C-alpha cells in the first residue's frame, strides 16, 4: 500500500486501527517530496523536523489510547501566503524572502488544534497575482499530469502537491479563481468558500474584499472535512461570519431529483476550447441522467466581470502592498546597508523596485491609477457598480435554480511560457471564476473528465453559505465517474 494515495478518512482509519503510524505516514510524504519536489517544485519550504515531531506526538496519543480528531496526524501543505508561526512566509516574493511569520493564521491555529501535520509551504504567483504560478520569484511549479505545463495559479503549488500525492490535502487562497483554476488544471477538488466563511486573519492580503482561504483535496469528502475544520467566525477578522444555515452532520448525500440546475448562457460562448466544452457538457448531461432538471439562466453582466475584477483587485492591492516599504517589511539585502541610501524615498524606490516582480508592479500601477483623483469615478467607482450588478444577476438566477454549473477555465493546463509575456491572455483564463468572488459566493471545482491526459474541472456555484450543498452536488458527479 502506498500511504500517499490515501484520502483523509482512509489515513485516519489506518492510524486509528494502527495499520501504520503517523510517523510512517509523514515519512512516506517526506520521501515523496524529497524525490519529486525538485522537478515539480510544489514546495518552497519543507519543515521536516517539525512535521516529524508533530507526527510523533500523535503516535504517543494513539499509544495512550486517546481519541484523535479526523485531521490528527494527516500531512498537509499550506500556500506560502498563509502565516505559520516561526516559519518563512514569502508570498512568492523576493520582498519577503527572509520574512519569518510571527504568529499563526487563524486557519493554521485551527489545523494545529486538530493536530494536523504541516509538511511545508507551497509555491504561488507572487502575492497570489497570476494564473499559472510562473509569477513566483522562486521559479515555476510544474503540473504533475504533464510537466511541460503549468499547474494553474495562483495556488499552483498547493494543487500540484495534492495531485502529485506530495501531501494529503492543502490550503490555498482564492481572490479571483486561485483555488478553483489550479484544482481544475491538476484534476483535484478545490473549494472557494463564501466570502466571510473562513477567517482571513494571517493571510497575506491581496484584495481584502475578495480574498478567501479554502481547501484543495483529492476527493469531495476531504474538502468538507477541511472546510469544517477551518470555517467560522473569528474575532480577528471582522468580515468573518458563522454560517446562517445549520450544517447538518449528514452524509454527503442529496436527492438530485428535486434540484434545478442553472446553466448560464453567457458562459458557453466563443473563446472556450471546444474540447473543454464537450467535457463540461458531458458532465451536465450526467446530472440530467441522474434526474436533475436543467434550466438555462442568464447572468447578463458577465462580460464586465473581468475588467471590474482587475480594477477592484488591483486597487485594493495597491493599498495593501503599500506596507512593503523596506522598513516595516524589509527587502533585507538593502535593509542592512542603510548607510547606502540617499534618502527615505531612495529606500522605498530601491526596496520596491528590486523587491517586487513585474506583475506585482503592473497591478500596483493599475490600482493606483484607478484610485487617483480624477479617475476614481471613471474606474473604481464604476467597477464597484458593476460588482453590484453582478451580485444582482446571481440573486435573480438563484430565484429560479438551486445551483449553477459552468466551466472553471476556458482551456486545460497550458504550456509553461505560453502566456507569460501576454498579461491580457493570462487574465482571460479567469473569465469563469472572477464573478463568483465579486458576488462573494461559494464555488467548487470538481474533476469531470479530461482533454487528452489533461484534467478539466466543472465549477458548481451555490448561494452564500451553501458550501455543504455544492459539495453534495459535486459528490454525485464524483460517484458517477467512479461507477
Ligand atoms: N488569476 C487571478 C489574478 O491574477 C486570480 C488570483 C487569485 O485568485 N489570487 O488576479
At 169, which CATH number? Answer: 3.90.1300.10
Provide the pLDDT confidence category of residue 230 given band limits of 50, 70 and 90. very high
Classify residue 24: in a domain, yes or no: yes
Overall average pLDDT of the 457-470 stretch: 97
Q: Is the pLDDT of residue 334 over 60?
A: no
Selected residue with higher pLDDT from 481 and 38? 38
Identify the CA nearest to 351 among candidates 98, 95, 88.
95
Residue 291 lies in a domain: no
Give the Å distance between the CA of 384 and the centre of ligand 1: 18
Q: Average model confidence (pLDDT) for the chain?
A: 94
- 154 classed as catalytic: yes
Q: Which domain holds residue 87?
A: 3-230
pLDDT of residue 425: 87
Residue 271 is predicted with a pLDDT of 84
> Counting runs of H as helices and runs of E as strands, what totals does the chain give?
16, 11
At 413, the pLDDT band (50, 70, 90 cuts) reads very high
Give a yes or no: residue 80 inside a domain. yes
What is the β-pairing status of strands 189-192 and 443-451?
antiparallel
Quick check: is 350 catalytic? Answer: no
Residues constituting the chain: 483
Q: If residue 405 lies in a helix (H) or strand (E), which one and from where to where? A: strand 403-407
pLDDT band at 340 (very low <50, low <70, confident <90, very high): confident
Say what the pLDDT of residue 341 is. Answer: 82
pLDDT, average across residues 198-204: 98
Question: Is residue 260 situated within a structural domain?
Answer: no
CB 178 within 8 A of CB 153: yes
Q: Does an H or E element contain 2, and which?
A: none
Assess whether 178 carries a catalytic annotation. Answer: yes
Report if residue 302 sits inside a domain: no
Confidence of residue 49 (pLDDT cuts 50, 70, 90): very high
Has residue 407 been placed in a domain?
no
Place of cell 492543502: 170
**Which of 216, 185, 207 is CA-nearest to residue 79?**
216
**Marked catalytic residue, from 93, 136, 154, 155:** 154
Q: Which residue's C-alpha cell is 504567483? A: 125
Q: Is the pLDDT of residue 250 over 80?
A: no
Q: Could you tell me where the beta strands, DSSP code E, fall in 308-402? A: none
Q: Is the shortest distance between the CB of 314 and ligand 1 below 6 Å? A: no
Q: According to the model, what pLDDT value does residue 327 have?
A: 81
Taking a C-beta distance cutoff of 8 angstroms, is the pair 268, 138 a contact? no
Q: Is 132 in the pocket of ligand 1 (CB under 6 A)?
A: no
User: Which of these ranges, 146-155, 342-351, 380-389, has the smallest mean pLDDT?
Assistant: 342-351
**How many domains does the chain fold into?**
1
Confidence of residue 244 (pLDDT cuts 50, 70, 90): low
Q: How far apart are CA 450 and CA 413, in angstroms?
A: 11
Q: Is residue 416 part of a domain?
A: no
Ligand 1: atom nearest CA of 430 is 1
Alpha carbon separation from 196 to 55, 230, 448, 457, 463 (Å, rounded): 31, 12, 28, 24, 13
pLDDT of residue 482: 74
**The predicted structure's pLDDT at residue 252:** 63
Q: What is the pLDDT of residues 414-429, one digit of tens each?
A: 999 999 999 988 998 8
Instruction: Judge whether residue 199 has pLDDT over 90.
Output: yes
- Stronger pLDDT, 114 or 255, i.e. the higher one: 114
Residue 361 covered by a domain: no
Cβ–ligand 1 distance for 175 under 6 Å, the answer: yes
Q: Which of 27, 32, 79, 192 is catalytic?
A: 79
275-279, 338-342, 461-465: segment of lowest average pLDDT: 338-342
User: Residue 336's Cα: distance from chain center in Å?
Assistant: 35
Amino acid at each position: 500500500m502506498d500511504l500517499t494515495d490515501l484520502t483523509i478518512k482512509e489515513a485516519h482509519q489506518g492510524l486509528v486501527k494502527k495499520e501504520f503510524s503517523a510517523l510512517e505516514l509523514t515519512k512516506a510524504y517526506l520521501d515523496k517530496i524529497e524525490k519529486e519536489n525538485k522537478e515539480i517544485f510544489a514546495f518552497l519550504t519543507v519543515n521536516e523536523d517539525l512535521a516529524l515531531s508533530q507526527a510523533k506526538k500523535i503516535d504517543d496519543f494513539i499509544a495512550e489510547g486517546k481519541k484523535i480528531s479526523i485531521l490528527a496526524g494527516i500531512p498537509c501543505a499550506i500556500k506560502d501566503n498563509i502565516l505559520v508561526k516561526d516559519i518563512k512566509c514569502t508570498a512568492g516574493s523576493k520582498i519577503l524572502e527572509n520574512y519569518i511569520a510571527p504568529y499563526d493564521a487563524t486557519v493554521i491555529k485551527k489545523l494545529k488544534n486538530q493536530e494536523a501535520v504541516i509538511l511545508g509551504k507551497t509555491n504561488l504567483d507572487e502575492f497570489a497575482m497570476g494564473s499559472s504560478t510562473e509569477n513566483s520569484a522562486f521559479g515555476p511549479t510544474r503540473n504533475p499530469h504533464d510537466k511541460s505545463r503549468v499547474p494553474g495559479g495562483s495556488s499552483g503549488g498547493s494543487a500540484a502537491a495534492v495531485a502529485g500525492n506530495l501531501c494529503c490535502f492543502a490550503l490555498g487562497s482564492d481572490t479571483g479563481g486561485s483555488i478553483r483554476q489550479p484544482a481544475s488544471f491538476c484534476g483535484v477538488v478545490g473549494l472557494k468558500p463564501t466570502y466571510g466563511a473562513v477567517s482571513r486573519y494571517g493571510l497575506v492580503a491581496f484584495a481584502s474584499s475578495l480574498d478567501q482561504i479554502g481547501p484543495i483535496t483529492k476527493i469531495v469528502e476531504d474538502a468538507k472535512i477541511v472546510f469544517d475544520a477551518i470555517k467560522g467566525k473569528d474575532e480577528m477578522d471582522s468580515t468573518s461570519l458563522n454560517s446562517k444555515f445549520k450544517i447538518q452532520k449528514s452524509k454527503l448525500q442529496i436527492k438530485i431529483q428535486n434540484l434545478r440546475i442553472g446553466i448560464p448562457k453567457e458562459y458557453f460562448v466563443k473563446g472556450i476550447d471546444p474540447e473543454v466544452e464537450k467535457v463540461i457538457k458531458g458532465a451536465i448531461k450526467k446530472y440530467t441522467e441522474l434526474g436533475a432538471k436543467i434550466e438555462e439562466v442568464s447572468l447578463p453582466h458577465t462580460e464586465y466581470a473581468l475588467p471590474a475584477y482587475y480594477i477592484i483587485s488591483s486597487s485594493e492591492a495597491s493599498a495593501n502592498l503599500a506596507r512593503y516599504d523596506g522598513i516595516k517589511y524589509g527587502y533585507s539585502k538593502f535593509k542592512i546597508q542603510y548607510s547606502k541610501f540617499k534618502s527615505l524615498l531612495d529606500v522605498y524606490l530601491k526596496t520596491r523596485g528590486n523587491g517586487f516582480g513585474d506583475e506585482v508592479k503592473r497591478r500596483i500601477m493599475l490600482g493606483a491609477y484607478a484610485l487617483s483623483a480624477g479617475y476614481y469615478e471613471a474606474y473604481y467607482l464604476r467597477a464597484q457598480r458593476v460588482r453590484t450588478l453582478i451580485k444582482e444577476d446571481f440573486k435573480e438566477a438563484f430565484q429560479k435554480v438551486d445551483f449553477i454549473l459552468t466551466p472553471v477555465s476556458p482551456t486545460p493546463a497550458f504550456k509553461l511560457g505560453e502566456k507569460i509575456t501576454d498579461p491580457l491572455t493570462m487574465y482571460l483564463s479567469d473569465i469563469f471564476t472572477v464573478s463568483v468572488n465579486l458576488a462573494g459566493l461559494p464555488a467548487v471545482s470538481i474533476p469531470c473528465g479530461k482533454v487528452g491526459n489533461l484534467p478539466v474541472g466543472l465549477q458548481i456555484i451555490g448561494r452564500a453559505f451553501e458550501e455543504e450543498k455544492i459539495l453534495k452536488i459535486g459528490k454525485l458527479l464524483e460517484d458517477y465517474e467512479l461507477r
